[in-house]
Amino acid sequence: MTDIAAPPQGARRFGLSSAEAQARLRRRHAAEARFRAYGIGAIALAAIFLVVLIGDVIVKAMPAFTEYRLTMTVTPTLEQVSSDGTTDPQALRSGDYDAVLRRGLQELFPQVTTRALRRKLNNDLLSSGAAMTLRNRVLADPSAIGQPVTIEALLDDAADLYLKGLMTGRRESVGQGQAQVTLDGEDVVLTSSAPDFARALAEVKESLREEAAADRREAARLTAAAADVAGDQREALQKRIADLEGDAAAAEARAAAADAPERLTADLPSKLVFINGGIVKLTEIGASEARGTVLVPLANTDAVTAGGWDILTLTQPEANRRLDDQVVAWLEDLKQRGMVASHFASRFFTSGDSREPEQAGILGALIGSALTMLVTLVLCLPIGVGAAVYLEEFAPKNRLTDLIEVNINNLAAVPSIVFGLLGLAMFLNFFGLPRSAPLVGGLVLALLVLPTIIIASRAALKSVPPSIREAALGIGASHQQAVFHHVLPLAMPGIMTGTIIGMAHALGETAPLLLIGMVAFIVDVPGSITDAATALPVQIYLWSDLPEPLFQAKTAAAILVLLAFLFIMNGLAILLRRRFERRW
């Protein structure tokens, strides 16, 4: 230890107090601090991604978890709901429940008499699921026939989207002046003592100005372009420029005449006036008066004081909406009467797929996934663990077992679609198993997961300390007893982890399911492993490709359900792992 007591002269000095050593120490500390910062940064970044991703999915999914229902009272008569005049369940099942609902709606809006309007009332307000609700009610209690029945009828998806505020922006303003109502033939003329309509007119004029400016810009661009071309093309361009200039000039002239009345076309935001218990849609707007058509009849034509009437502006023009102003007016009227309300959409969790977005549920896919996973687990856990135990503990080490090992490792990297092709060729075509069945899906996914489980199980068995095995053998246990009584229970946590990873992988697979017919529209919730079924990721894929906006919300909601399923599956596995776990 002389080197510590007296370092030889001329050798490097390792004193901790020298400036050099201090600098080195600072560098090392800085490096460590940097590394920690990188680590925290990486975790924070991952956390941000996760939060943004899941937050986005949750926000998008919200509309799928609520639904608007209309509380209405209808009186089903025997002639309507029974196909042969008896209360036999079979006859009641094929009754015309839509007719009952139609009459109920008619009673809500007795003033709707023309054929076109009645069709709109019957088609655009209620979902076709409303009749199913009524049917189930009558089937459950046939004594309700002939009696008034109050049901909560599901609204159509477009009406639902409107009420959720996803179809158009709404702006409500209270009437500032005293309003006079006069009838003029079919129309209603409204006047206000305050500049309520002048403000609305100014908005229209502003949009005209914008339109004119856009036309001018386009005309200027084309003029520049026309300088470079000749002949027919130039003539066509010049004609187009002249048209644009003309349009722009006309719009500007209209915008300049600040007090001249303007027509509200379907390309402009709609304005609905709520007055005297009715709803008027403005068709022409002037500085002090406005003209409109009645969408919901007015109780009377009395003058209304300031603050007693409202103007509702729907920012999305009628031409761009799936729901026209008439249906919006009915919905607003029902809302004022307190008959439509938002409820939790339990239907989403209790019904199968549907082509009507408001009725589509996840239960079919959820059960399909659960059945598929059950088949996969039951097959691949015993086979996988068995194979791993044999290969790791009993098999002789020779060329053949090496070859098997290499192949298992390769199988783990085979694209999943290949397993789908194998499933199609073997299980469907050779064994004649039914198409679209969770049984076949489970078989195919078991093949996919097996290599993962075998590899993980072998690693887990290898990590059990040899002392355990040797101690068991030392006190006279057979090889099999040593493995099954001592090594395997200790390896169980690792095996479970491998199984979880494999199953989670299988749960998210769609590609192999495509080939065996599980990418399908299936209304009925599967009851057994041979019924036609689909799976959660497939349902997400199918819904995401449909045009209705409510299906986009359902897609996000289905993603949440898939995540929840995954959490529950992993939670169960962790629970099981705890029970099997043994420490040494």
Partner 1 sequence: MKFRSLVSVAALTLAGVAAAGAAQARDQIRIVGSSTVYPFTTAVAEQFGRSGAGKAPVVESTGTGGGMKLFCAGVGTDHPDATNASRRIKKSEFEDCKKNGVADIIELKVGFDGLTVANSKAGPDLNFTKEQIFLALAKEVPGPDGKLVANPYKNWSDIDKALPNEKIEVLGPPPTSGTRDSFLELVMEPGAEKVLADLKKSDAKAFAAAWKTIREDGAYIDAGENDNLIVQKLDANPKAVGIFGYSFLEENAAKIKGAKIDGVEPDFDTIADGKYSVSRPLFVYFKKQHIGVVPGLDKFIAEYVSEKALGEDGYLSRKGLVPLPTDQLAKVRADVEAQKPLAADAGL
Give contact residues for partner 1 (rule: CB under 8 A): 93-94, 119, 123, 128, 132, 167-168, 218, 221-222, 225-226, 228-229, 233, 236-237, 240, 316, 319-322, 354-356, 375, 378-379, 381-382, 431-436, 439, 484-485, 488-489, 514, 517, 519-524, 528-530, 532, 542, 544-549, 552, 580
Q: How far apart are CB 406 and partner 1 at their closest, in Å?
A: 28
For residue 318, the minimal CB distance to partner 1 (Å) is 10
Q: Please state the closest distance from residue 321 (CB atom) to partner 1, in A.
A: 7
3-state secondary structure of 204: helix
Helical residues (DSSP H) of 164-195, grouped into ranges? none
∠ Cα 448 570 415 (to 5°):
20
If we measure between CA atoms, which residue out of 188, 248, 194, 190 comes closest to residue 218? 248
In the complex with partner 1, the residue whose CB is nearer, 296 or 371, is 371
Extract long-range pairs of 98-107: CB within 8 Å, 24+ residues apart.
Answer: 98/122, 98/128, 98/131, 100/74, 100/75, 100/76, 100/131, 100/134, 101/72, 101/74, 101/126, 101/130, 101/131, 101/134, 101/153, 103/74, 103/75, 104/72, 104/73, 104/74, 104/75, 105/72
Joined together, the tokens standing for residue 244 give 């644009």
Nearest to partner 1 of 42, 266 (CB atom): 266
Compute the least distance from the CB of residue 179 to partner 1, in Å: 31
Say if residues 65 and 160 touch (Cβ distance below 8 Å): no
What's the closest the beta carbon of residue 362 comes to partner 1, in angstroms? 16
Closest contact distance (angstroms) between CB of 573 and partner 1 is 14
CB-CB contact of 469 with 486 (8 Å): yes
Nearer to partner 1, 71 or 128 (CB): 128
Name the residue nearer to partner 1 (CB basis): 221 or 263: 221
Question: Is the CB of 25 or the CB of 236 nearer to partner 1?
Answer: 236
Helix (H, G, I), strand (E, B), or coil: what is residue 417? helix
Return the exposure string of 320-335: e unless at least 16 CB atoms fall within 10 Å of the residue's CB, then b: ebebbbbbbbbbbbbe
Rounded to a whole number of angstroms, the minimum distance from the CB of residue 14 to partner 1 is 58
Positive or negative torsion for Cα 189, 191, 195, 196: negative
Distance CA 404, CA 397 (A): 11
**Residue for token digits 């939060």?**
51
| Integer angstrom CA distances of residue 482 from 227, 391, 467, 470, 490 | 93, 16, 11, 8, 11
From CA 511, how far away is CA 531, in angstroms rounded? 20
Instruction: Kindly tell me which of 307 and 382 has the beta carbon lying closer to partner 1.
Output: 382
Q: Which is nearer to partner 1, 379 or 395 (CB)?
A: 379
CB of 405 to partner 1, least distance (A): 24
CB of 133 to partner 1, least distance (A): 13
Run of H or E residues at 131: helix 129-140
Pick between residue 226 and residue 294 the one whose CB is nearest to partner 1.
226
User: Nearest distance from residue 374's CB to partner 1, in Å?
Assistant: 8
Q: Which is nearer to partner 1, 28 or 119 (CB)?
A: 119
Choose between 275 and 488: whose C-beta lies nearer to partner 1: 488
Question: Nearer Cβ to partner 1, position 132 or 411?
Answer: 132
Which residues have CB under 8 Å from 457's CB, separation 6+? 384, 385, 388, 389, 392, 491, 494, 495, 498
Residue 159 identity (one-letter amino acid): A
Say which DSSP state 508 is in. Answer: T
Total Cβ atoms within 10 A of residue 65: 16
- Kindly report the number of other CB atoms within 10 A of residue 341's CB atom: 13
CB of 22 or CB of 233, closer to partner 1: 233
Of the candidates 556, 565, 423, the residue with the CA atom closest to the CA atom of residue 508: 565
Q: Which is nearer to partner 1, 201 or 558 (CB)?
A: 558
Measured from the CB of residue 216, what is the shortest distance to partner 1 in angstroms?
14
User: Where do the DSSP E strands lie in 297-413?
Assistant: 310-314, 340-344
Q: Which is nearer to partner 1, 138 or 290 (CB)?
A: 138
Backbone angles phi, psi at 183, to 5 degrees: -90, 140
What is the smallest separation between the CB atom of 224 and partner 1, expressed in angstroms?
9
Q: How far is the CB of 193 from partner 1 (least distance, A)?
A: 36
Supply the minimum distance, in Å, between the C-beta of residue 59 and partner 1: 15
> What order do you get walking across the sheet with 66-74 strand by strand?
149-154, 66-74, 340-344
